[in-house]
Structures are given as C-alpha cells and as structure tokens.
Structure 1
Amino acid sequence: MSKFNVVKFVTGNVVPVSEQHSRDDAGKEIGVAVRGEGEQSDSEESTSQEAQAGVQGIEAMTSVWSRSHLIAAYVMIWCIYFLNTIEQASTGALTPYVTSSFEEHSLTATTSIMSSIIGGLVQLPLSKVLDIWGRPQGYAFMSFLLTMGLVMMAACNNVQTYAAAQVFYWVGYNGLNYCITIFVADTSSLKNRSLMFAYASSPYIITVWVGGPIANWFLAHSTFRWAFGMWAILTPFITMPLWFLFMYNVRKAEKMGLMPKRESGRTTRASIKYYAIEFDIAGILILAGGLALFLLPFSLYSYQSNGWKSPMIIAMLVVGFVLLICFPLYEKFIAPKTFIPFQLLTDRTVLGAYILAAVLFVEFYIWDSYFGSFLQVVDNLTITEASYVANVYSIGSCFFAIIVGVLIRWTGRFKWLALYFGVPLTILGVGLMIKFRQPNENVGFIVMCQIFIAFSGGTLVICEQMAAMAAASHQYVAVVLAVEGMFSNIGGAIGSTVAAAIWTATFKPNLEMYLPDMPEANITAIYGDLTTQLSYEWGSSERDGIIKAYGESQKVMLIASTAVLALAVIAVAVWRDIRVKDFKQTKGMVV
C-alpha cells in the first residue's frame, strides 16, 4: 500500500467566522470548497452544475444504475484488488532476483526511484482525464499500461529495461488503484468512505500468504519471466469486466439525456494546445525531470570512477536542483492552469495530510527497500518465509483499516485516531527495529515491530485520505487525492533514494571491514548479487561477515526512518477536527 506532515497543537470544534470567510474566499478563487470543523455543507447540489464533464458523468451514472449494479461493482473491485495484491506481492519478491540476474543487486532500490516519481506524478494528469473525459476512459488506459509493464518485465534483458518496465508497471498499477479509489469516493457517502476504502483493500489480508509461494515456485521450476508473463495474461481478464459495467451505465445515462455535451468545436491543433494547458504538461515535465535528476545521483555515484566528483553526477545534481526551484515559480507566475492550486495547499488540513503522506512513504521505503534481502541473508529465511514477514504490514494495516473505518463512521471524526494512536505507534515500531533488526536477534521481535507499524499504518493512510477529501467538495475529490498520491510517491522516491545512498555508502565498506581476507572481486560479487550472498554456507565466516555488514547498514537506515517520523506529529496536529457525518458529498445510488 502498496503501496506509504509541523507549529502548534490545534483542537476544538468551532472555527472563527473570519477564518471561515477567508477560506471560502480562497475557495471561490480556485473553485475549491474548504470546510471548518462543524460546518454544514449546503452547496453540494449546486456544485455539480459547475463541475467538469467527468464529474457530471459519474453523477449521471450513479443516478441511473441499480442497486444490483452497485453491489456488482464493489464485488468486481474486491476481485481486482485480490488479483493485483497477489501480483504485486509475487513480483515484488522477485525484484532482487531480477537485478541479481544482471549482477546489479545494489540497484534494487534504484529501480523504484523513477517508477515512484512518474507513478506519483501520473495521477495529476490522470485526475484531469477522469474529470474531463470520464472515469471509464482513464481506467481502461491504466489497465493497458499495467499489462504493458508486465509484458516488458517478462521480456527484459538488462536492468535498464527492467527499470523502464517498472515505470510502465507502477504507472499502470498506481493509476488503476487511483481510478478505483476515485470510483469508491464517487459512490460512497463521506461517513462511510473510510470503511469502503478498507473493504477495497481487504484482499491484502488473504493474498500476502500466496505471493511468496508463487514467486518461490517460479524461481524453483521456471523463471521470473514466466511469472511476469502469467500476470500479463490474467490482468486484462480481471480488470475489464468493471469497465464494461461502467460503460453500460454510461450509455444508459446518455440515452436518458443525463450526460453532458462534449462538442468543443476546436480544431486538432487547438485541442492539442487546450489539453497541454489543462494537463499542465510543462509543469509535470519540469517537476519529473527535476526530481529524477536530483535523486538518481545518490544511488548511481558509486558506479562512476570519480564518484561524487564525476561531471555527470555534478551536472545531474545542479540541473535537477535548478528545475526543482523553477517548478513552483513556473506554477505560480507562468502556468496558464496549475494542477496544485496554491490556495488549496494553504488549507492546514489538506497540507498536513499531504505532508503526512510523504513522511510515511519516506520512512517506509528507507527501511523496507532491502528488507526482503535482509530476512533471507541475516535471518536465513526462505523467500516464502521472508515474504510472510515482509507482508505482515499489508495484512495488519488492511485488517486494522476496517476497524478504523468503523470507528470513523461511529464517531464521525478521524483526527484523534491519527494523533493519539497512529503516529505514536509508528514511531514506536520503527524505533524498536533499530534494536531488533540486527544479527542474532529473534525474528519474532521483527514481526512484533511490523505489527505495530501495520496497525498504525492502517490508521494513518485512511485518516490522511479522509482529511484531504473532507476539506473539499465532490468535484475536487479527484484532484486532492491525485496530489496526495503525488506526495506519497515522491516520498517513496525520496525514501528509496536515501536507502540506496545509505546502502551504497555503507554496505561495501562494511563487507571490506568484516571480510578483510576476501579478494576484491569476490567483495564486488557479494555486493552486487543476492544469490552470491546466499551461496555462502550458514555459519561460515564469510556468511557471518556478510551478516554483520547487513546489520551495520540496516541500523543507519532505521535511525534515518525514525528521525523522519518527527514531522508526522506536527503534520497531524495542524488538522482541523472535521466531523464527516455532517456532509453530503455524492449523489445517486451510493453506499
């Protein structure tokens, strides 16, 4: 959830009238409705007339479909998540073996940096596709990209091609999940939405037990290529029935005259210019380029003969930094239309939710990037056993998210859950791993820490999404969740970058320190290949040296993760205590 915010403590149920007016004025300026703690929404009926075609389209669809179609849609959503979670668990377990097959195990985290950046940014233009063209169109395109990424991973012949395939895969995977998330938001009331989100992700409770054995079977009896190929075949068969249900009801709404007219009268050239502006293509390219150029050198510098002094590394850092500086300036002063309204980001609840999303993904990817390899090398677990431990987070977070959904529906509030339970428990779980994720420690203590992190993660992910959505009207749900997804994935990219930088800077020197008699060529082979690490017999001096090297590198990663979590406390504290029972945000036949 794979898929993972600072000021003074704020409480109370009443927002000063002057503050409400200032937020309302800002909202009118950009078309965003922002709400106070106890503020009742009475304008939802009118906002639909001003909403974009995709929003009007989904409201028309929910007005004409039957209860049986609503139930069928949610059953299909569960099945899609069921397939995708097995697929993601099994393919994720194979990643170290894919990079190791090209003798580039140290690039395990690096392969996810670009995919995390682009996978997060794609939700911004995708939100526009959903709002301008419609939900079914965006959903079908993401299903295609997910399938294409799996095909490319099955056919890859080097780590560069695999990294490119990961971009297609994660764009499609994140995009498909995003489309489903928006669909759930479109078809559920605000008070029930957290429970519906938890329902949609509940397959993780079952499927994490299956991903590891599937990966293990393919490694033992076939190759990783056939594993990717199998999922490439299954994906369209599972995802497309929901699209057909969408389109059936869209056509029904069109026949009843409920769908908005879409005749623009523009020429082809005018349409290209129009959509380039609507999707803020220039802004996305500046941001994506800046993030990629600035983050990648931290994991690639060790492959240059001059290290940090390499002209290529220096150029990437400088150009990337300049582009990152240029992005907010471009958005503020030049862009004809922006994806990230600055007035929306000034709302403390929305901004706090975004910062929390980024922080959770930063800290998660720092300690998780080499977790599977650690469990196999240091704790001597099989790939299946390692997958079970690594996926405790998925099981626990998805199980506890259901409890959180029930509590939010019952109490009508979410801030207290995040502030008094979620954040403290995350800090406790990650902090304890500094002690327990070391050589000669019982793996049961690692599982205990994972359970703490899982329960807190299931709480915080649901609460952060509710915070962002509760502060906006229905027509802006897609964009606020898109920006939340962008912050999450950029956080994941930063976390992967930090993990790769720590690994690159510490693991090989640690190997040289704990294996002083080992030839340099063997050290290099161990550094670059998980299979080589596992080839040394358990209990041998070589394996013990590798284990000690892992322990030292992991300790640095976990200390960094724990330090980052300090930001989460402030990010949640600034939220308004919004009562979600008070709002009607959707129309038609909804949950």
Structure 2
Amino acid sequence: MNLTIYTGNVYEPYATSHFKAHSLLATGAIVNGLVRIVSYPLLAKLASYFGRPQSFAGAAICMAIGNTMYAGCSNVDTFLAGGIFDVFGDTWWNIIQQILVADIPILVNRGIIFTLPESLSAIPTLYGGTYLGEHMLLHSSWRWGYGMWATILPISFMHGAEPGVVGKIKHVATQLGLIGALLLIGGLAMTLLPMTIAGKNNTDRWSRPSSIVLIIVGVLTFIAFLVWDGRFASNPIIPYRNICERNVIVACASCIVIAMADSIYRPFLSSFLQVAGHYSPGAATRVDNAQRVAYNIGALVAGLSLKLAKNTKPFIMLGVVLIILACGLPIYLTNISGTHIASEAAFITSKSSSRPSSKTSNGAIWNSVLPRKLNSYFGKEEGGKIFGSIVARANEAGTADRNAVDECYHETQQTLTIGSVCVSGLLLVIFYLIRNVKLGAEDEKRAAQADKELAWAIKHREDQEDAPVELESGRR
C-alpha cells in the first residue's frame, strides 16, 4: 500500500500538467479530503458488517479501480474521479488497522502497536517507491506507473476476499448512515470547492453569482446534516454522546488546527521543489514525504516513551513545539535560491502532523497569488501557460526567464508558510485545555472495573444455580 502511495506522489504533478491543469492539485486534494472525512465512520461500520478480511480485500479493489482510472483517463475530471476511489481504498485500509489496534486492552501498549507496522515499512517504501516512480517517468510514462498497480493490488489481496451475501439495501443504508453522509459531503464540497476554484482562470471569480450561491447552499446543507445526524439518524455519523468529554473535544480541535496548518503549506511543495529548487521528481517526492517518515519514527519513539513515562501532556507539548517550529522554518528556507533549498529536507522531518483533511486555503492563495506574479513577469498568455504546467517553462537553470519563474514560486510558497505558522500558533492555546492522562492509573482503573463486573457475573450465575426448582414446571 505504501509503495502505491509513494509512486503516485511522483506521478501526480505530471499527470495534472498533462491536462494543463496543474493548479487543480489543491482542488483534487479537497475532494479527496472530503471523501476521507465521510468515509471513516462509514468504513468502520462496513468493517463491522462484512468482516475485517473482506474489508482488506475491498480496500485493495477500490485502490485498483482508482489506479485504473488514473492510467486510462482522457481528461482531468476522470483523473480526479479516480482519486476518490484511491482515497476510499487507502482510508479503508487505515481504518481496519486502527480497529485491530483498538482491540488491545492495555493503553500503554497501544502507542507502540499502532505505529510499529508503518514505522518498519516507512523508510524502505519511501525510497523504493520514489525511485520506482522516477524511473517509470524516465523510461515509460505516468500512465503505466499507475496502471501496474491496477493488476498488482487485486492479486496481492485475492486470498482475503471471500464471497458473502449482502443484506437488504434499506438495512445497509440505515446502518451506514448514507443520508447523513451525503448531506455532509455535499455541504462541505459546496462550501470549500468554490474557495479553491476561484482564481483558477481569473481572480475575479468571486463576482460570479454561482460561487456565492454554492457557498450559501453548502452552509445550509451542512446545517441540515447536523440536524439530521443529531435528531433523526438511527446510526449517527458523529457519536455525540462520546465527544462530550473535554479531552476528546480538545483533541478534535487540535486535529483541525494541525490539518489546516499542514494543508496551507504542503499541497504544492513537490512542485515548488522541482521548479524553484531544481529537484528531480523522485528527490522532490522524498523531501515532501520526509514528514511521513518522521511521523512514523517519532510515533514509535513516543509510543515507547509513553509506556515508560505513562503521562501524555509532556509529549503533547513537545509535539506542539515541533509543529510550530517546522511551520516557521520554511519562511526562511523558501527565501533561499538554488540548491541551498536542500537544507529544507533536514527541517521538514520535524513536522509530524496529521494527514490534511482540507486544502482550501492553500488552493485559494496559490490560485490567486502565483498567477498575478507570473503575469507581471511574462504577460497574461505566457504566464497562464506556466501556471498550468510545471514543465511549461523548462528553461535551463540560471537564465533570466528561469530565475523569474523561480522567484514567483519562492514568493508564493513563502506566503503559504506564513499562513501555516499563524494557524499552528493556535495549538499553544489548545495545549492548556488538555488534561493530563496517566495511562498507568487509567489501566488500573479499567482493570478494577473489569474485575468488579466479572465478580458480579459470577455471583449472579451462582445465585441462579442455587435458586429452588419448581417440580411441576421445572423452572427455578
């Protein structure tokens, strides 16, 4: 699965540039993020309904369908649609892993078990995947790079797929909460997509009534989702009773802030490194994905440390400091020209944040700032060509035109990093609202509660066995 992701990261900028729609990377990321948001609760219910082996096989099939659409797409719309299946499969795979980890009863061991599989495979698959992707670009094409996984994935998981009987459509729809899911994805899509698409062709898109109407309808649809999910849904997507605990609310808020800070900076980082940093596709993807390697290694260290320290708040504070530091350092690093940008790889690894769930701010800034800067250097027609493809201005490094393109990318990416560090500063406020959880004491409390329930069950059974028997009826 990781090899599929890392090779795909190499191909993505070139696939969108093939259709003269490189700026749609942010739009595609928003659509994929919306699919992730909605699919997590749905896929957890599917895993309970169909079983875990079938869910692993289903994840592989969904990713294979997505890669098939990537390989055979004739326009950017089909390419973005393939991303929906790909993300759905990847999310399904991840949620099953989390469900398996949640079965571990001892809290102090969950951190280690949760990160161990990913940590062991992160570095080999990162380098293997990016080198494989780069060689596919050099010796074949991005279409074959995607297409090979359409065959590999189903075959590799074929042993886990067993035939089963699907229940009635109404029952499945009720159990999965499909009405709420449709309202949620519709509300978020109509609210967030216009913010990113505005500026794709021109920065005056907000003057069009359709953009404003979509946002208004999107907000109303999202409100309808909250009403439906909170009052009418028999199986709500949001477990309202479970999120009333203070730490749960604060944790959700911190995930939103981290996702926003990450989404402002990272979607076009690979393109920035290739254009302004003069990196090869594979090297740029390795730098971009250094965060994921750092996440896995850092999570493994944190899991081991939590097992020994058994207190959560010190590690949360350390994570907040690293995130703010990693968001702030690129403000300086993106202002360095030429190969000195290689220093960024050493610092971006400290940024261990969650996978972005929304790229709205990034797309809005990128699609507004970069076109204006390119147009000021090259004119509207030539600037539009450069904006639509990272290979449209393949001039030799050091020439006046290439330096102008590099400067436009530098200034735009620096604007994004400033926004990222401003958002990440909110984590300092959130940190003071988190209550420290002593994992050892919590495990002892749960064990004592389990012992009480077991003792009650044994006593109840003994009382039933000692009850007098009515001879006529045979009842106790």
Count of paired positions: 441
Q: Is 2:273 the partner of 1:410?
A: no
Whole-Å separation in 1 of the counterparts to 2:2 and 2:51: 26
Report % sequence identity.
27
SS of the residue corresponding to residue 23 of structure 2 reads helix
Picking from 125, 132, 138, the partner of 1:207 is 125
User: Which of 142, 151, 162 lines up with 1:233 in the alignment?
Assistant: 151
Instruction: Measure the CA separation in 2 of the matches of 1:493 and 1:394.
Output: 15
Per the TM alignment, residue 568 of structure 1 is displaced from its structure 2 partner at its CA by: 2.2
1:188 shift after superposition: 6.3
Residue pairs, 1:154-553, within 5 angstroms: 154-187=71-104, 189-202=106-119, 203-241=121-159, 243=160, 271-303=168-200, 307-419=205-317, 421-440=318-337, 442-454=340-352, 457=353, 492-494=356-358, 496-513=359-376, 515=377, 518-533=378-393, 535-553=394-412
1:568 aligns with 2:427: yes
Partner amino acid, structure 2, of 1:216: E
Taking a change above 3 Å as real, the CA distance of residues 570 and 134 of structure 1, as seen in their structure-2 partners, is farther
SS where residue 391 of structure 2 aligns?
Answer: helix
Offset at residue 552 of structure 1 (A): 1.5
Q: 1:139 Cα deviation (Å)?
A: 2.7
Answering whether residue 38 of structure 2 is matched by residue 140 of structure 1, we say: no
Give TM-score scaled by structure 2 length: 0.87
Contact 1:115 1:170 in 2 (8 A): yes
Which residue identity is paired with 1:219?
A: L
Q: Which has the larger radius of gyration?
A: 2
Secondary structure of 1:532's counterpart equals coil
Task: State the Cα distance separating 1:499 from its structure 2 match.
Answer: 0.8
Please tell me whether the aligned partners of residues 199 and 364 of structure 2 are also in contact (alpha carbons under 8 angstroms): no
- AA in 2 matched with 1:396: A
Which residue identity lines up with residue 565 of structure 1 in the other structure?
Answer: S
Q: Which moved more, 1:207-216 or 1:89-98?
A: 207-216
1:75 match = none
Counterparts of 1:126 and 1:302, CA distance in 2: 35
Which stretch of the first structure deviates more once superposed, 274-283 or 371-380?
274-283
Cα distance in structure 1, aligned partners of 2:25 and 2:200: 14
The answer as to 2:67 corresponding to 1:150 is yes
Indicate conservation of the 8 Å contact 2:27/2:193, yes or no: yes
* Offset from partner CA, 1:327-385 (integer Å, 9 cap, x none): 22222233333121222222111122222222222211211111011111111111122
SS in 2 for 1:302: coil
For residues 133 and 215 of structure 1, do their structure 2 counterparts lie closer, same or farther at Cα, with a shift above 3 Å needed?
Answer: closer
Instruction: Answer yes or no: is the 8 Å Cα contact 1:511–1:523 preserved in 2.
Output: yes
| Residue aligned with 1:110, SS | helix
Q: Check whether the contact 2:9–2:285 (CA below 8 A) recurs between aligned residues.
A: no
- Return closer, same or farther for 1:334/1:185 CA change in 2, 3 Å cut-off: closer
92-101 or 433-442: which moved more? 433-442
Higher relative contact order (CA 8 A, sep 6+): 1
Q: Secondary structure at the match of 1:438?
A: coil
User: In structure 2, how many angstroms separate the alpha carbons of the residues matched to 1:283 and 1:313?
Assistant: 24
Which digits, 9 at most, give the CA deviation of each residue in 1:212-231, with x for residues without a partner? Answer: 22121111111111111112
Residue number in structure 2 paired with 1:54 = none
CA distance in 1, matches of 2:415, 2:223: 29
CA distance in 1, matches of 2:231, 2:195: 31
Cα deviation, residue 574, structure 1: 2.6
Instruction: Label 1:293 to 1:380 Cα distance change in 2 as closer, same or farther (>3 A).
Output: same
Aligned to 1:111: 28
Q: Is residue 430–residue 449 contact of structure 1 (8 Å, CA) maintained in 2?
A: no
Partners of 1:426 and 1:301 in 2: how far apart?
A: 29
Whether the aligned pair in 1 keeps the contact of 2:294 and 2:349 (CA below 8 Å) is yes
The runs of 5 or more residues in structure 2 that have no matched partner are: 451-476
Q: How does 1:118-129 map to 2 (within 5 A)?
A: 118-129=35-46
Within 5 Å, which residues of 2 pair with 1:85-100? 85-100=2-17
Q: Distance in 1 between matches of 2:231 and 2:201?
A: 38
Task: Letter of the 1:99 partner, please give it.
Answer: T
Deviation at 1:426, TM superposition (A): 1.0
Decide whether aligned partners of structure 1 residues 360 and 303 sit closer, same or farther in structure 2, where only a CA change above 3 A counts. closer
